[in-house]
A and B are shown apart, each in its own frame.
Chain A
Amino acid sequence: MSAHAHVSQLPRTAHTGRVTQARVALSEWTKLHSLRSTRWSLLVGFLLTIALPVLFAAVTSSHWGSMSPHERADRHPLDIALAGVNLSQLAIAVLGVLVITGEYSTGMIRASFTAVPRRLPVLWAKTAVFGSVAFLLMVPPVLIAFFASQAILSRHHILQISFSHPGVARSVIGGAVYLMLVGIFALGIGAIVRNTAGGIAAFAGIFFVIPPLMNVLPTSWNNAISQYLPSEAGRQVFSLTHGDHSLSPWPGTALFVGYCALALAIAAVLLVRRDT
């Protein structure tokens, strides 16, 4: 060891910034866009939202001549335009789960919580950043899906509906709202479960397994209960027509927002209590 005094090679910095919610949000934005899985999931969500309506519009157009009046009456232009949302919600939900469980599986969460030991700012920032990105990125594809499917159908002069028709703009943009909320709900589930496979399974259970199981119940019960399930309440925002046994758009959306808030609240309580 040398005789002269030791000096670390570490450059000093005068900077002493404190942790703020806005700074944590910027950090979460960096985390989100710097992962390949984010870019892939969002690209898949984007493409599915457009591809499925285009496909359905083309198939409907080519078969229109051979369809019975009954079948024709069953077709609705908005169902076609927003068909992709049913599929792309999977990509968004998986990403929502991964945004948080990816940190647990890799150990990144320890670095995150060392930088932000109060922890909750991380959860709020993830929710806000991921929710905003999901919404902003899903608005273009729902619009494209609407106008593209309408363009295809218009060549056969069938199933035309105007964007200015009451409820249409709300339903189309509602597709993006729904996808954003699905992503946030999935993020909450991920934060509770802390495990990627478990989070995706829990989400799939709530959205794809429980609803069909309701058919086992007596019809009156099914009608009374199903409309309050997260998936059913949530989809009202992008449905133009509403049956007798479904909520109207805004109460449905409010209920789904409530489910998201509940998932996040449980996640928040567990987040500050549990060891990492």
Chain B
Amino acid sequence: MIEAHDLTKDYGDKRAVDGLSFSVRPGIVTGFLGPNGSGKSTTMRLILELDAPTRGEVTVNGKHYREHAAPLHEVGALLEARSVHTGRSAYNHLLALAQTHGIPRRRVEELIDLVGLHDVARKRAGQFSLGMGQRLGIASALLGDPSTVMLDEPVNGLDPEGIRWMRNLLKGLAAEGRTVFVSSHLMSEMALTADHLVVIGRGRKIADTSTKEFLSQASGNVVRVRSPQAAELERLIAGPNVTVTVLQPGLLEVHGLTSAQIGDAAAAGGVALHELTPKEASLEEAFMDLTREDVEFKAAELEDEEAAA
């Protein structure tokens, strides 16, 4: 369980996290979503108290992270930036972390096997590829058998097999009743893994909703139509739930109808079509729209307030 209240962090003039309040519940995978620079990694560092908040607070299992007697049993974290001494072997890295909590060597070996680093465990971590480094980071996160697992872009650098493994691992950890908090800037990845989403943009919370709900809002039919009689077609398909955007003369983007409906309408009206392309309901775009709208909305709101004042 992670609970953030009015969490705010300034780096000089730059506000990286802005009044963020949310809670991450156990038993499900919670995705932490936001475009680059939106403050995901900063929030995670604040949770671990590696950085101190400018305002607000965050607790893990009811306490500040620093207050826990055995922090690695509370939270296992994979940070965005590499957190391994390049001159030390993977085995000794994990052993040194384990020893701070009196975790036995056997556990270190178990985790090295789990993440598939057995053959390179005695090699210096500086020679590891991106994916191997990521696996080492995951091993250190799971070392203490933590009740909360917090991973910053865990699939970064993993191959397709590794990505699937990660997805199953996260779901399995959640099914065991743990709190799982995973950041990503890839909506499509989160759609497959997360049960709940916390979405941020420019350090502020934009959405805090179940993935199912988020997707139903986001999806909608979008079809690209090219026709020499575009204006004619536009009249034919007009309807209450249909929006038509003219991209170029002769090129339309239609929301609210399937390609079959558009094709049928065109045939009935005798309109020639040169292209009829259903676009994948783009989660990324929906996500971008959402974050963009938020920023514009906030700006407009401010102007209104100023005007009223």
Residues of chain A in range 19-56 having any CB-CB distance to chain B below 8 Å:
19-20, 23-24, 26-28, 30-31, 34-37
Is A106 a contact partner of B70 (Cβ separation < 8 A)?
no
Instruction: Judge whether B107 is part of the interface by a CB distance below 8 angstroms.
Output: yes
Q: A17-B102, A34-B96, A275-B50 are in contact. Are A114 and B77 (CB under 8 A)?
A: yes
Least distance between B139 CB and chain A CB atoms (Å): 10
Measured CA separation A17–B71 after assembly (Å): 10
Whether a CB of chain A sits under 8 angstroms from the CB of B301 is no
In the complex, which residues 104-121 of chain B have their Cβ closer than 8 Å to any Cβ of chain A? 104, 107, 110, 114
How far apart are B88's CB and chain A's nearest CB, in angstroms? 5
Q: Indicate which residue in B79, B86, B104 contacts A106 across the interface (CB closer than 8 Å).
A: B86
Q: Which residues of B contact A275 (CB under 8 A)?
A: 45, 50-52
Cβ of B82 within 8 Å of any chain A Cβ, yes or no, is yes
A115 contacts B172, C-beta separation under 8 Å: no
User: Provided the pairs A106-B85, A108-B84, A117-B65 are in contact, do residues A30 and B114 lie with their beta carbons within 8 angstroms?
Assistant: no
- Cα–Cα, bound, A273→B49 (Å): 11
A76 at the interface (CB under 8 A from B): no
Q: Is the Cβ of B79 less than 8 Å from the Cβ of A23? A: no
0/1 interface trace, chain B 86-109, chain A, CB 8 Å (1 if under): 111100110111011111100100
Cα–Cα distance between A106 and B73 once the two chains are bound (Å):
24
**A117 CB contacts on chain B under 8 angstroms:** 48-49, 65-66, 68, 71
Is B85's CB under 8 angstroms from A35's CB? Answer: yes
In the complex, identify which listed stretch (A1-9, A156-164, A239-247) lies at the interface while the others stay far away: A1-9
Distance A36 CA – B83 CA, assembled complex (angstroms): 18
Q: In the complex, what distance in Å separates the CA atom of A20 from the CA atom of B102?
A: 9
Decide if A114 touches B176 in the complex (CB within 8 Å). no
Chain A contacts of B52 at CB under 8 A? 273, 275
Count how many chain A residues have C-beta atoms less than 8 Å from C-beta atoms of the other chain.
43
Complex CA–CA separation, A106 to B88 (angstroms): 11
A276 within 8 A of B: yes
A116 to B72, CA, bound (A): 9
In the complex, what's the smallest C-beta–C-beta distance from B203 to chain A, in angstroms?
16
Bound together, the chains give a CA A15 to CA B98 distance in angstroms of 11
Give the B-binding residues of A (Cβ under 8 A): 5-13, 15-20, 23-24, 26-28, 30-31, 34-37, 102-103, 106-111, 113-118, 273, 275-276
* 24 A/B residue pairs, CB under 8 Å, sorted by A: A5-B175, A8-B172, A10-B114, A11-B110, A15-B102, A15-B145, A17-B70, A19-B70, A24-B100, A31-B85, A34-B96, A106-B84, A107-B82, A107-B84, A108-B88, A110-B50, A110-B79, A111-B83, A114-B71, A114-B77, A115-B100, A275-B51, A276-B45, A276-B51
11 new A-B contacts at CB < 8 Å, known A9-B114, A107-B82, A276-B51: A5-B175, A6-B168, A8-B169, A8-B175, A10-B169, A17-B101, A31-B92, A34-B88, A108-B88, A117-B65, A275-B52
Q: What residues make up the interface of B, taking CB atoms closer than 8 Å to A?
A: 45, 48-52, 65-66, 68-73, 75, 77, 79, 81-89, 92-93, 95-97, 99-104, 107, 110, 114, 140, 142, 145, 168-169, 171-176
